[in-house]
Amino acid sequence: MLTVGLLGAGRIGAVHAQAISDHPGSHLAAVSDMTADAAQALAATHGAVAKSSDEILADPAIDAVLIATSTDTHCDLIEAATSAGKAVLCEKPVDLDLARARRCAAHVEQTSQPVMVGFNRRFDPSFGALRDAARRGEIGKSELLSITSFDPAPPPVSYVKVSGGLFRDMMIHDFDMAHFLMGDLPETIMATGSAIIDPEIGAAGDVDTAIATLTYADGRLAVIKNARRAVYGYDQRVELLGSGGLLQAQNMLENTVVKSTADGVVGAKPTWFFLERYMPAYRAEWAAFAKAVTDGSPMPVTLADGVAALAMAEAAATSLSSGAPVRLSTLS
Amino acid sequence: MLTVGLLGAGRIGAVHAQAISDHPGSHLAAVSDMTADAAQALAATHGAVAKSSDEILADPAIDAVLIATSTDTHCDLIEAATSAGKAVLCEKPVDLDLARARRCAAHVEQTSQPVMVGFNRRFDPSFGALRDAARRGEIGKSELLSITSFDPAPPPVSYVKVSGGLFRDMMIHDFDMAHFLMGDLPETIMATGSAIIDPEIGAAGDVDTAIATLTYADGRLAVIKNARRAVYGYDQRVELLGSGGLLQAQNMLENTVVKSTADGVVGAKPTWFFLERYMPAYRAEWAAFAKAVTDGSPMPVTLADGVAALAMAEAAATSLSSGAPVRLSTLS
Amino acid sequence: MLTVGLLGAGRIGAVHAQAISDHPGSHLAAVSDMTADAAQALAATHGAVAKSSDEILADPAIDAVLIATSTDTHCDLIEAATSAGKAVLCEKPVDLDLARARRCAAHVEQTSQPVMVGFNRRFDPSFGALRDAARRGEIGKSELLSITSFDPAPPPVSYVKVSGGLFRDMMIHDFDMAHFLMGDLPETIMATGSAIIDPEIGAAGDVDTAIATLTYADGRLAVIKNARRAVYGYDQRVELLGSGGLLQAQNMLENTVVKSTADGVVGAKPTWFFLERYMPAYRAEWAAFAKAVTDGSPMPVTLADGVAALAMAEAAATSLSSGAPVRLSTLS
Amino acid sequence: MLTVGLLGAGRIGAVHAQAISDHPGSHLAAVSDMTADAAQALAATHGAVAKSSDEILADPAIDAVLIATSTDTHCDLIEAATSAGKAVLCEKPVDLDLARARRCAAHVEQTSQPVMVGFNRRFDPSFGALRDAARRGEIGKSELLSITSFDPAPPPVSYVKVSGGLFRDMMIHDFDMAHFLMGDLPETIMATGSAIIDPEIGAAGDVDTAIATLTYADGRLAVIKNARRAVYGYDQRVELLGSGGLLQAQNMLENTVVKSTADGVVGAKPTWFFLERYMPAYRAEWAAFAKAVTDGSPMPVTLADGVAALAMAEAAATSLSSGAPVRLSTLS
């Protein structure tokens, strides 16, 4: 039984609390949050106790912590937790600053503690099935990857301002997905974007719609499309063209009902947002982490993977500013 | 070059005139109709001349006639045309009366002239592909056939009154499709129906919605559903379950556009009616007839097939009246 | 908190144990089974204790029992449990004998205890959405219902022999679905069937493939197709044609991946069997039962519904034997 | 009746000959080709006569010419034909050299003869329906366009060498589609590509897989993906995200048959190549041209549109070489 402390009782913290509780081999023992009431409420729901994060890290009974606090605290907490001998599952992104994330990775390496970064989409059954089919060679050699990733509705501008920008906050998932599916990092990234959905997002210095093009050393190409608004729901699709065919992972739908009338043939919309779409993936993510901690086997998503995705996001942000492609190797 | 006379210049006659004109090896030479103006107009469209049906049958230059007149004239014209040495493609049904159709078949047998019955759906590419797949054993041994066949809108009650009823007028296509796909005739037919769409159809002694269940000597089963109204368009689907899987022929759609909005995901409707859906099948039907006439090879759909479909329709009509299954072999 | 005793620790008992454990307002306290080891094992998995069914029914701390024992014990246990003041959720069918089921219902009426019959498919989100759309009039007036219900693989013949036959064991789900979707019982049922999948099933006096046709007093029609084998998975589809359109509930798929190669375009298969397809429905079923017990509100599926489905199954079995339609009202 | 001369009797010339012949208001009178036999053969098929292109242009009975010769002759023939008073429908691209195409356009302007460029995809019913829906505001304001355009198999390298490169030869269709759907030209184009399918194509100085990103002055974005090989068939899809939803035009399939077996659920592949997919579009293209010539109404696709598409292709080719985005306005 893995005894777990949860740091952060916000929206995503609640998602993880549920996933931990549902896991037969894990026990959610303690929850912390900057807001004591939030920690108290979430802890009560799952039969845990509210504590401070310091108390959790100091508690020798806690085997692992899940970090779901605000991004600016991630590296400090990863370092503190690994120093305290805990296994860590940390939400993405590792940090908004690539250099800080790299220092954190260096620290962790010294502790030899297992750290996993929470790229939940790697645990989506359809994306996983697509990757498995590609690895088995079912479409020959991979050549061109396309990722469509649209949120149903834009976040408040107040959030956008502290988010690190679309590339570090939203597209970072897709950069990791490209890494996951292509099995390698790109050589160059070229990004373009626009604040066409909400001019306030533009006034805040960010974009809400963006395209990134990735080139790989072996000639493969990838393109990622992001939009902060797709009024029909969470649009999360992947296509991979290879020498022997095409693999597509399509959206999950709310139900399977189709209505044909004089107005047309209407089917259900995609599931609304990440909770509806990815709750099974969050459960599978936790199970994979718990298994790796228990087995002592390698983490399925490493801190290095988290740093790599952040580097890709930084390259894209730089490209958006400069209007030119950025070589990933040039990022200091 | 096959020189062709068309008997009947109504709606379905016009369809066939187009198919004949589009065929590189056929020449539409003459058109007849009870209404001289109709014959004249259709003939003009295709560079043919308007004549009487007697003139067409007497013309030694005419190799083949297509009979698209009213049902009550089919047998007389088939007999006259074959006696005159013409090859014949006759619209369905052969007749509304099984005994009359059988006498016609006996007559034709003496003339040894080639006669084909116009079951156009046998020439639909998707139904053809389904049958081919079944014949190749792709789903193992066939076990259970389902045919869905809904018209977009009911015909006028005046038409219903002379149509011979839903089974002889509409479901006869599906009886033939069952024959085509199962490669055999059923042992028994049980039918039920209702005038739920239009009570006037019920007052005219007919049904507008019906289900027929067919049993085969080897244990196979089939079910046919008909409705005179499907407001979303012409619904023409087939499913065949076998020991190794399921084959489905789905509807053709007006286009491939899909719209996702807050209201749902909307695709195009099925093609509206038989012209939109089956024009390629009418062309293929004529080409198959012309080829068989030219080659002297067997007709792809025989007059016996037409009589068989009529027998199935009569069995269904009898079953509807009696409330009991009817053995096909008992029809005198 | 609802304290629950589970009677029966077989395959379906284990499904219910999971659904009860997952429900926040329910506590699985005790499990019984003819085989003590089975009760012990299932109880241990869910932190319950193994007891005899008599002990469970005698325990005043138990609020509700779930009956998942063999069919021949259902009525006795329903009667004993309601007499003991328990709320009851009983698996289908109520019994194989209609008269016995009716006596059971009469008994229950005297106890005034809440009893629900476990027609899990009523709680499937897609079937529910279809019914809601029909009730809202989205396709006008309902006219023609079609239910396709194929199992992935036939059960052992030993099971078939004690199952009560396809209509009471398998199609009973679809009879209840027709009841659920049409909101009424049919006037007549006509059934046909065949042992085409496995002759041993025929030798055991049963069929493995069947079609039932239902007529309603207001002219509506329904057709149900059952097959004991669909090698591609659990095929569970519903179509409802109305004056204003068509509603279809399609299969759920294993994932959303589509592969296009030179061999064709391949998508995932339907979910394999009832556990994969209906686990969410089992959870929703239990939640609905627990809510009704707690609220004192009417049961969402009543014992009368269970008796009605059994009557329909009996009518179908009688029709299969006699070859004639059976009026539901004639069943004594 | 429009009397037509066809210049060029190759593969695409044959397609147009068929479309002209199928048009009730047009008469294909003459066909020319560098290879006299080819002209003779195609002319014979359609009841036309073989002539030289000079003879055709000099023939006062010829109202319109269709130019389907090799690209390097397009501008000379457009100029000669318009000087000779003919209406012209010219295959894409206008030329491989932007300056030459612009001089041609200037020439044509002086003659005031109607000239249309053959961007057949504008006449595809699904792309047309998508554009109409967008124009009607069905998805609000357009924001992000995606075009997927893959050929089934790469052309011979000998063809690639004279093709002008992927952007001028293949993606030019998609540049025009972007123009058609967005109703405007982009401000900048950034392209990347790779010869990952066939190194010989790379050795010939071209790419076989490419992505172009387009930015518009109003903040809209577009992305075009091209690949010279998709072994499953001609993959031609469009997606347009707007403030109110998403429009997708999906592939047409060879038929509607779906097979479900233990190996998966297999549907038909997309239609194989441009002939199978776009024959109806070629017919509609000719009909639109013929109508505009007859009416004296504006050409549905102008020579300016052809020049614009070529400019976009040149921008993309320049961007591929330089690795930087190219502003369309800087092309001299």
Closest CA to B261 of D221, D182, D243, C130: D243
**Interchain CB distance below 8 Å, C241 and B197:** no
The sign of the CA dihedral D270, D276, D281, D285 is: positive
CA distance A298 to chain D (A): 33
Question: Quick one: C2-113 is in which CATH superfamily?
Answer: NAD(P)-binding Rossmann-like Domain (3.40.50.720)
Searching chain A, which residue's CA lies closest to the CA of residue B152?
A262
DSSP β-ladder status, B257-261 and B115-118: unpaired
Q: How far is B39 from B227, CA to CA, in rounded Å? A: 33
Give residue C107's pLDDT band: very low, low, confident or very high (50, 70, 90): very high
The ipTM value here is 0.95
Q: Which distant-in-sequence residues (6+ apart) come within 8 Å of D80 by Cβ?
A: D57
On the question of pLDDT at A332 being above 80, the answer is: no
Cα distance between residue C194 and residue D73, in whole Å: 71
Longest dimension (CA), chain C: 67
Asked if residue B332 has pLDDT above 80, the reply is: no
Return the pLDDT at D121: 97
Q: Please give the average per-residue pLDDT across B166-181, as a whole number.
A: 98
DSSP three-state, residue A15? helix
Rounded to whole angstroms, the Cα distance separating B86 from B63 reads 6
Q: At residue D332, does pLDDT exceed 80?
A: no
pLDDT of residue D272: 87
Domain boundaries, chain A: 2-113, 122-277+309-330
Q: Which of D181, D237, D259, D279 to mutate to test the interface with B (most CBs of B within 10 A)?
A: D259
**pLDDT the model gives residue C274:** 87
Are the Cβ atoms of A231 and B266 closer than 8 angstroms? no
| Percentage with pLDDT > 70 across chain B | 100
* H/E segment holding residue D290: helix D274-295
**Chains meeting D at 3+ CB pairs closer than 8 A?**
A, B, C
On whether the CB atoms of residues C126 and C252 are closer than 8 A, the answer is: yes
**Which tops the pLDDT comparison, C274 or B100?**
B100
Residue B276's pLDDT band (cuts 50, 70, 90): confident
Which among D252, D255, D265, D266 is the top mutation candidate for probing chain B, defined by the most B β-carbons within 10 Å of its own β-carbon?
A: D255
Q: Is B165 at the interface with chain C, CB within 8 A?
A: no
Cβ–Cβ < 8 Å for D264, D85? no
Q: Do A265 and B261 touch (CB under 8 A)?
A: no
Q: Which residue pairs, CB below 8 angstroms and at least 24 apart, start in B36-44?
A: B38/B9, B38/B10, B39/B9, B41/B9, B42/B6, B42/B9, B42/B13, B42/B14, B42/B17, B43/B9
Contacts of B250 in chain D (CB under 8 A): 256-258
Put simply, whether B264 touches C (Cβ < 8 Å) is no
Contact A324/C at CB under 8 A: no
pLDDT in tens, C20-54: 998 989 999 999 999 999 999 999 999 999 999 99
Place of tokens 């099971």: C159
Phi, psi of C85 (to 5 degrees): 85, 20
Q: Is the pLDDT of residue C276 over 90?
A: no
CA D291/CA D297 separation, integer angstroms:
8
For residues C209 and C131, the answer to whether their CB atoms sit within 8 Å is no
pLDDT tens figures, C155-186: 999 999 999 999 999 999 999 999 999 999 99
Give A149→chain B minimum CA distance, Å: 15
Closest residue of A to D144, CA-based?
A209
B133 touches chain D (CB under 8 A): yes
Residue A274 has a pLDDT of 87
For residue A266, list chain B residues with Cβ-Cβ distance below 8 A.
Answer: 263-267
The whole-angstrom distance between D311's CA and the closest CA on chain B is 29
**The pLDDT of residue D103:** 97
pLDDT tops 90 at residue D196: yes
Contact B244 C231 (CB under 8 A): yes
For D122-278+309-330, CATH number out of 1.10.10.10, 3.40.50.720, 3.30.360.10, 1.10.150.670 equals: 3.30.360.10
Q: Looking at chain C, how many residues does it have?
A: 332
Question: Has residue D298 got a pLDDT over 80?
Answer: yes
Q: Is the pLDDT of residue C189 over 90?
A: yes
Residue type, A76: D
Per-residue tokens: C200: 């041993």
| Number of Cβ atoms within 10 Å of the Cβ of B287 | 18
- On chain D, the residues whose CB falls within 8 A of the CB of C230 are 260
Query: Which of D265, D269, D271, D273 is the best residue to mutate to test the C interface, defined by the most C CB atoms within 10 Å of its own CB?
Result: D265
Task: With cut-offs at 50, 70 and 90, classify the pLDDT of residue B272.
Answer: confident
Per DSSP (E only), the strands in B183-328 are 188-194, 209-215, 221-227, 235-242, 245-249, 257-261, 264-267, 326-327
Beta bridge partners of A214: A189, A222
Cα–Cα distances in angstroms (integers) from residue D211 to residues A134, A277, D193, D229, in the given order: 21, 29, 6, 14
Strand order in the sheet with A87-91: A49-50, A26-32, A2-7, A64-67, A87-91, A115-118
Please state the rounded mean pLDDT for residues D178-188.
98
The answer, yes or no, to whether residue A208 has pLDDT greater than 80, is yes
Q: Do A143 and D196 touch (CB under 8 A)?
A: yes
Instruction: Give yes or no for D135 touching B (CB within 8 A).
Output: no
Instruction: Give the closest residue to B64 by CA, choosing from B133, B113, B128.
Output: B113
Residue % of chain B over a pLDDT of 90: 96
pLDDT of residue D331: 87
User: Cβ contact (<8 Å) for B261 and D125?
Assistant: no
Residues of A in contact with D251 (CB under 8 A): none
Residue A252's nearest CA partner among A270, A234, A235 is A270
| C contact test, residue of D254, D255, D260 with most C CBs within 10 A | D260
Model confidence pLDDT, tens digit, residues D27-63:
999 999 999 999 999 999 999 999 999 999 999 999 9
Rounded to the nearest 10 degrees, the angle between the axes of helix B98-111 and helix B303-322 is 170
- Does D228 touch chain A if contact means CB atoms closer than 8 Å? no
Is the Cβ–Cβ distance between B173 and B188 less than 8 Å? no
Instruction: Supply the mean pLDDT for chain A.
Output: 96
| Contact status of B244 with chain C (Cβ, < 8 Å) | yes
Counting Cα atoms < 13 Å in the Cβ hemisphere of B87 gives 22
Sign of CA dihedral C178, C184, C185, C187: negative
**Neighbouring residues of C95: CB distance < 8 A, sequence distance ≥ 6:** C71, C72, C74, C75, C101, C104, C310
Q: What is the residue type of B128?
A: G
d(C-alpha C79, C-alpha B227), whole Å:
46
**Average per-residue pLDDT in chain C?**
96
Chain-chain contact of B227 with C325 (C-beta, under 8 angstroms) = no
Q: Which chains touch C (3 or more CB pairs under 8 A)?
A: A, B, D
Q: What is the signed CA dihedral for C241, C243, C245, C246, rounded to 10 degrees? A: -10
Report the pLDDT averaged over residues A86-100: 97
Whole-angstrom distance, CA of residue D114 vs CA of residue A26: 76
A51: its two tokens: 């504590």
Chain A CB contacts of D192 below 8 Å: 190, 213, 215, 221, 325
Q: Does C213 touch chain B (CB under 8 A)?
A: yes
| Rounded mean pLDDT, B133-141 | 97
Give me the long-range contacts of C103-112 (CB less than 8 A, separation at least 24): C103/C75, C104/C74, C104/C75, C104/C78, C104/C79, C104/C303, C105/C303, C105/C304, C105/C307, C107/C78, C107/C79, C107/C82, C107/C83, C108/C78, C108/C79, C108/C82, C108/C303, C111/C82, C111/C83, C111/C85
Interface residue B246 vs chain C (CB under 8 A): yes
Q: Hey, is the C-beta of D252 within 8 angstroms of any chain B C-beta?
A: yes
Task: Assess contact for B194 and B251: CB atoms under 8 A.
Answer: no
Query: What per-residue confidence (pLDDT) applies to A32?
Result: 98
Cis before C152? omega within 30: no
Q: How far apart are CA A326 and CA A214, in angstroms?
A: 10
CATH architecture assigned to C122-277+309-330:
2-Layer Sandwich (3.30)
State the pLDDT confidence band at A147, using cuts at 50, 70 and 90.
very high
The neighbouring-strand residues paired with A30 are A5, A49
Same fold for the domain at A2-113 and the one at A122-277+309-330? Answer: no
C-alpha dihedral, A123 to C129 to A272 to D236, nearest 10° = 80
Could you give the maximum distance between any two Cα atoms of chain D, in Å?
A: 67
Q: Look up tokens 């088995």; give the residue.
A: A136
Question: What's residue C108's pLDDT?
Answer: 96
Would you say D68 and D74 are in contact if contact means Cβ atoms under 8 Å apart?
no
CA D117 from centroid of its chain's CA atoms: 8
User: For residue B224, which of B233, B237, B205 has the smallest C-alpha distance?
Assistant: B237
Nearest Cα of chain C lies from the Cα of A263 at a distance, in angstroms, of 9
Question: What pLDDT is recorded for position B24?
Answer: 85
The answer to whether the beta carbons of residues B271 and B252 sit under 8 Å apart is yes
Topology of domain B122-279+309-330, CATH: Dihydrodipicolinate Reductase; domain 2 (3.30.360)
Residues in B touching D250 (Cβ below 8 Å): 256-258
Q: Are B286 and B306 in contact (CB under 8 A)?
A: no
**What pLDDT does residue B189 have?**
98
Using CB atoms, which residue from C231, C262, C266 is nearest to D266?
Answer: C266
Distance from CA of D138 to the nearest CA of B (A): 8
Q: What is the pLDDT of residue D275?
A: 84
Q: B261 CB near a chain A CB, below 8 Å?
A: yes
Would the pLDDT of B315 be above 80?
Answer: yes
- Mutual angle of helices D98-111 and D303-322, in 10-degree steps: 170
> B20-24, B119-123, D148-152: which has the minimum mean pLDDT?
B20-24
Structure token digits, residue C201: 């099933």
Report whether the peptide linkage leading into residue B280 is cis, meaning its omega lies within 30 degrees of zero: no
